[in-house]
Each structure stands twice: as structure tokens, then as C-alpha cells.
Amino acid sequence: MKTIRDIPQLKNIPVLVRCALNVPIADGKVSGSFRLRKALPTIEFLSKKHARVILMGHIGEKGTETLLPVYEAMKEFIPQLQFCPVSTGPIAREAIRSLPAGGVLMLENLRRHRGEVMNDEVFAKELASLADVFVEDSFDVCHRSHASVVGVPAFLPAYAGLLVEEEIRELSLALRPKSPSLAIIGGAKFSTKEPVLKRLLTLYDHVFVGGALANDFMKARGLPVGKSLISSVGETEVEILLQNPKLLLPMDYAVAPLGSQSTQARIARTDSVDPDEAILDNGPETVAMLASYVEQAKTILWNGPLGNYENGFTDGTESLARVIAKSSAHSIVGGGDTVAAIEKVKVGDRFSFISTGGGAMLDYFANGSLPGIDVLH
């Protein structure tokens, strides 16, 4: 895989960088700058080599959001940063033409164009026409076959940025774990997690399934799940995984009627969920059980929260973050809510590597590569 260190000439060259700009926004301001900070090494490398650096990325899912709050937050790190209110066309071309050597320009949200998600060739060509070189540094979208990810490299020399290089190096190590090893997979959507669970069960000594994902396994075991979130999958696939002796499941939960606050939850054993209750977090006995495996582990992989994190059920996830932070194991973690929990309890510096990708990280483990990485070879 070629990286930006392999670009033969950068001085005054326009370089189009696919950047991880999809960050949380609250009250019109960036509320979490983790991905922005991780983007800086590549931007600074190119700027110091006197390239004309053009940042492109997306924010949100609707296609109507603006990157202006991201631009304002990024200016704190890159004072010379400029903003372009469009991503293609004459205005974008003029902004790039007037950009000085070492200058940095952020284009507006790519998903305002339908052609981005559709991987439209015409849109990809328009983006490619803005620069002489393409750099992929947005690992979080490398599992997407979008125009800015796989379309543009068809028309420009393509290189990996320093972040993508680091992600692949670290996640490749996670595919060769040192024993004893522990993988922890939370979140929801069994259909998207099944391939990675199958792969990890062949690589890791123990694989714990938590979060809403575990509800499918509990239901297949015949245990009560009340009104908990359940995936719309057949139980056969779940039952096959249940037969694997490496699989670990929760021992207790925080449960409450749907719509309740976290303060209204009670701790329940796995066989005592009432019909009107939902499983909303893993309980303290589960965290204690995981702590015993963490203490012995040499490699720990974690992706996805243990509870309904965005709705306030944070205790299980944050407790686990503190437990892993005390470990001497090589720890690799990813996923938006997981990273948010680590940052909230201020233990980020105690983890060996924190990935900027959630779904991309899981797809990489399941398949061994990603569309956005394949086009760089």
C-alpha cells in the first residue's frame, strides 16, 4: 500500500484528501474532536511539504447538514484553514486555484450530492478534476463504495494517509492476537455483526457478546427478554454460534420499562426480566466476569457499547472502559459510543490503539480488507 511518503512531488501540488470529518454536533458545535485530532498528522505532513491541501468529507446522513461547525472546530488546530461552501464547480475551482502552497481548504459536505453515496462516475470525475493526487485518510468510510472513497482513485494517483496507514497496521495486529485473548462485541444488529463474530471466534480465545446484540442469544437460549430490542433474524444462525465454547454472554442486566431513565433501572439476573421490561445495559456481575478475563488477557479487542449508551444507560460501558484501562494487555478499541465512553472517563491514553472506525473496523475483521483500501494497491 502506497502512502503519502511515496508521493514523488508535493510542492504547490493540489492534493485531495478524504478526511474523517463526520463528528458529533451538539447545539451547532462539535462536541467530540477525536477524529479531527487524528486527521492532523496527514494534513500537517502535506502542508509542511508545501502542497495545496484540499479536505473533503461528509457530516450526518441526511445530505442537508453543513461542515461549517467542523470547519470552526478545525481552525483551532489549523489557523490557515479556509472553507468553500460547495464541493465542486467553478467556486470550488477558484478557491483551490487561489490557495497558496501549504494552504488548507475544506470543501462542503459531500453528501449534499446524491452522486457521493451512489458512487456516480460523473461526480467522482468532478472531484478528481480538482487535484493532481488523491489521499485516503478517512478509515471510517473505507467500507463504503462511495464516489470519494472508491470513485476518485480511478482517476488520480492514490495514496494512504498516515491515519489509514496506522489503522491498517494496528488492526492487522488484532487479527494475530497473543493468547490469552479476549474480544468484546457490543451494539446491536446481529445481521451486520454475524460475519465478524464468526471470524473472531476462530481467532480469539474468548468472545464476549454484549449490548442489544446479546438479546438475540438470550432469546435463542429460551431466556426472557421482555420488550428488549431483538434482531429480525432466524434463530438458527444464533444457535450455531451458541454452540461455540469460546462464546461468553452477560450474567446480569440493567432493566427498565421502555422510555425509562437510567435512574429507574434495576439489576436483574438473566432469567428474571419481566414482560414489560427491556434490557438496557449489562450489569455489575457481567463487568466483574469480564474483568477476570481482562486481567489475564494479552490482547483485548473491543467494539460497541454494552448498553443503550446514547439514551443514558452508560454504566456498563464506562465501567468496562475503566477495567480495560488498568490492564497491561495490548488493547484495541473502536466504535462511536465506545470511544465516547473512553473519552468521558478520561482513560484514552491507557489504550494501545483507538480506531476512528466502527463499522469499517468490523468489516475489516470480517473480510480482511475494505473497498477503500483495495483501491490503494
27-49 tens-digit pLDDT: 999 998 999 999 999 999 999 99
- Contact 365/200 with Cβ under 8 angstroms? yes
Read off the pLDDT band of 125 (50, 70, 90): very high
88-110 tens-digit pLDDT: 999 999 999 999 999 999 999 99
Predicted structure pTM score: 0.93
CB-based burial label for 48 (10 Å; 0-12, 13-18, 19+): exposed
Q: Which CATH superfamily is domain 4-165 in?
A: Phosphoglycerate kinase, N-terminal domain (3.40.50.1260)
Structural domain 175-366, CATH architecture: 3-Layer(aba) Sandwich (3.40)
| Angle (CA) 36 38 44, round 5° | 90
For range 340-346, the mean pLDDT:
93
> Which residues 6+ apart lie within 8 Å of 177 measured at CB?
183, 203, 204, 298, 299, 301
Find cell 494497491 and name the residue: 377
For range 71-80, the mean pLDDT:
97
Q: What is the pLDDT of residue 190?
A: 87
For range 8-19, the mean pLDDT:
97
Q: What is the pLDDT of residue 236?
A: 83
In this model, does residue 178 exceed pLDDT 80? yes
Locate CATH 3.40.50.1260 in the chain.
Answer: 4-165, 175-366
Query: What are the distances in angstroms from CA 108 to CA 75, 89, 257, 349?
Result: 15, 12, 42, 32
In this model, does residue 233 exceed pLDDT 80? no
**Max Cα-Cα span within the chain:** 67
